[in-house]
Structure 1
Amino acid sequence: MPHPAAGSPTPLAIALPDGRQLGLTRYGNPAHRAVVFHHGFGSSGRELPGDAALLVRLQLQILAPDRPGVGQSSVYRALTFPSFADDVVAMLDALEIREPVGVMGWSVGGVHALALAARHPARVAAGQLLSTCLPLGERAAYHHLSPLWKALRWGQLSFSWLNRTTFLWLSRQWARHPDRTIAWFIHLMFPAEKIVTRRWRALLRDAAVAGFAHHGRGVFDDAQAWCRPPGFRIEEVQAPMRLWHGQADGVWAPSNIPYLAERLGGAPVRLLLAQGHMLYLENWTAILEEMAGLLPVSRAKE
């Protein structure tokens, strides 16, 4: 199998109303229908395959914003799920995108995708949650967490100084020794994740380098927001959602996905045999084809 190519994504920067900067990566033609992609934890908007021909065929563009403290986005210590949803709407306004958009989220990015749909229902036409997680700080969801995730949440909130130090150290490793660092992470992965990450090593390495910019501040703030009350209710999401999850996911077990789908009004779920947390990379064409079918036909001209 040939090594995947990253394509030619376009970096952009948007000035937010409060003076901060929001960095993002655009994939595809600005005239085409827009899909907002929320990146995973410790990564950035550079984690997507740059399949330009596929985007042209489906008439889609993907906007992948970096959360505060990631890539070119300013640090914002008051980060919450609602605050970033508002940042994304400001980004859409700045880009003069008025039509409802598709929204995607991978891993913890799935919770950010839900927040955007819940807080700004008129701006979201449909969504896809890819290997998504639950909001760790929500009381109802907490009871469905595994003992490991409960322990990780407790440690993040109880020993925040230690986590801040850890993310600072990791940011230095990614900046100084990116190849050695991703090799170390691959060694620690479960089998399904290890196979895919090796195949997409360069893409994921560069995405993580941007993810740990600003001395790891954005990763720490993202973790803190994830562990606190989410500031929205999953049941507030009105747009149709689709869930994709791997049965061999070693990061977030698929046992919670039917629970999440039920809270989304019985959203359809695709459980993929023998696939892990990185399934979005292995199924990118099928995921985008599904999204193209969920969105209304654009009124924009070529």
Structure 2
Amino acid sequence: MREDEFVNLPSGRNLGYAEYGDPQGRPVFFFHGWPSSRLQAAYLDKDAMERGIRILAPDRPGIGSSDPLPKRRFSDWPKDVADFADALEIPRFSIFGISGGGPYALATCSQLGDRIERAAVVCGAPPLSADADRTHMHWAYRTLSGMKSLRRAAVPALIPLSKWMIRRGPHRAPMSWMLRSIPARDREAIHSGGGWDTVTRSYLTAISNGSKNLLTDGELYIEPWGFDPEKITVPVRFWHGLADANLPCEVARKLAKRVPESEGCWVEGEGHYSLAVFHSTEVLDWLKG
């Protein structure tokens, strides 16, 4: 396990990354969610080690230990991924894109298909631009995505509040109240071994560069993606919980239909967090092939 690594990209920017699992294993690039960072992949360390998988988890530009890239879009990410792989002398790899990392996984597949063996999209974010159907989204996401002025005012104010809540812990108010509002299966996942620590460490790293970079990353989800999922030729498998209250399975199914010959694993009873925690071994087994 190495969590504070860097590569210097040809552009001159630094890309920070963490490494988990088997250092000599088959490479799998882990694309973190939002608001999260490279440390989100820590929960895969033991399972990846047992399967001979090397997890490489880069921070996106402006997040955690990676330098920002002004005016970036999803379609800029594959170039960073290719340069990252070149720096580590990795010709081919698979991708594990989780939640907000899902669109980044698909964007990379659309441009680097000849270098990618397989891609897993786990509880992935669907298109959320103005012309997309947002009616089934979690109310908080729907509100923030639709009101730019509220979003720009709320996020900077929420960051210090969130730090205070995390310091108090998951069993004390107001965090305990918030956790009661999510499905019981998701609470079980968050309270599982290392769950709370992984989530909070990853989040605190994500916000370490302030609200501007966090918003830059987050607002990409409500803009047009800038690539065509219909043109992807990489084997892609979607995993999504039927009880996901953050990003409902219905929209994941619609996205999967746009990716040629993709497969869908729609899991009964699992939510947004529980699917990622309790079915990660299935994902790793499939990625290993």
Q: Which residue of 1 aligns with 2:76?
A: 83
Q: Which residue of 1 aligns with 2:135?
A: 146
Within 5 A, what are the aligned runs for 1:267-286? 267-278=262-273, 279-286=275-282
TM-score, normalised by the number of residues in structure 1? 0.84
1:292 paired with 2:288, answer: yes
Q: Distance in 2 between matches of 1:208 and 1:181?
A: 14
Report how far residue 155 of structure 1 moved.
5.0
Secondary structure of the equivalent of 1:43? coil
Q: Distance in 1 between matches of 2:260 and 2:223?
A: 24
Gap runs ≥5 in structure 2: none
Q: Which residue of 2 aligns with 1:95?
A: 88
Q: Distance in 1 between matches of 2:236 and 2:196?
A: 29
Q: Provide the alpha-carbon RMSD of the alignment.
A: 2.5
Aligned counterpart in structure 2 of residue 244 of structure 1, from 227, 239, 245: 239
1:108 paired with 2:97, answer: no
Aligned counterpart in structure 2 of residue 178 of structure 1, from 166, 171, 174: 166
**Distance change in 2, residues 1:259/1:220 (3 Å):** same
Q: Deviations over 1:221-261 (max 9, x none)?
A: 11221111111000121100111111110101111233222
Report how far residue 167 of structure 1 moved.
2.2
Report how far residue 171 of structure 1 moved.
2.8
Report how far residue 128 of structure 1 moved.
0.5
The answer to whether the 8 A contact 1:136-1:153 is kept is no
1:136 paired with 2:125, answer: no
Q: Distance in 1 between matches of 2:247 and 2:264?
A: 15
**Distance change in 2, residues 1:247/1:79 (3 Å):** same
Q: Distance in 1 between matches of 2:270 and 2:64?
A: 29
Report how far residue 288 of structure 1 moved.
0.7
**Distance change in 2, residues 1:171/1:79 (3 Å):** farther
TM-score, normalised by the number of residues in structure 2? 0.87
Q: Distance in 2 between matches of 1:130 and 1:118?
A: 17
Q: Which residue of 2 aligns with 1:120?
A: 112
Question: Identity across aligned pairs (percent)?
Answer: 25
Aligned counterpart in structure 1 of residue 11 of structure 2, from 18, 22, 26: 18
Q: Distance in 1 between matches of 2:150 and 2:72?
A: 19
Report how far residue 187 of structure 1 moved.
4.1
Gap runs ≥5 in structure 1: 1-7, 294-302
